[in-house]
């Protein structure tokens, strides 16, 4: 089921202009640019998104 609520990254605080938003479905995680929402979004399988976030936390990128 799609969660229609786009959520802003926790790193996008205050008046930051470099922001991303995301939402989840049963099949994917969707990510878009806050400043350019009309451009659409990127979609990732949940397992790949989780691996990406884990690499960010361990600085493995």
pTM for this model (two decimals): 0.74
Question: Does residue 2 sit within a domain?
Answer: no
20's tokens? 């991303």
Question: Does residue 28 sit within a domain?
Answer: yes
Going from the C-alpha of 29 to that of each of 14, 16, 19, 39, 56, the distances in angstroms are 24, 23, 16, 17, 16
Strands, E assignment, the chain: 7-8, 20-24, 29-33, 42-44
Question: Does residue 49 sit within a domain?
Answer: yes
Question: Does residue 37 sit within a domain?
Answer: yes
pLDDT one-digit tens code per residue, 8-51? 877 766 666 678 889 998 899 999 988 888 999 999 999 999 99
pLDDT one-digit tens code per residue, 30-39? 999 888 889 9
Residue from 20, 55, 19, 25 nearest 41 by CA: 20
Three-state SS at 50: helix
Domain that holds residue 43: 7-11+18-58
């Amino acid at each position: 089921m799609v969660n229609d609520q786009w959520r802003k990254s926790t790193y996008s605080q205050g008046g930051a202009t470099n922001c991303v938003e995301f939402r989840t479905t049963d099949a994917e995680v969707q990510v878009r640019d806050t400043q350019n929402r009309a451009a659409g979004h990127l979609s990732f399988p949940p397992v790949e998104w989780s691996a990406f976030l884990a690499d960010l936390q361990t600085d493995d990128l």
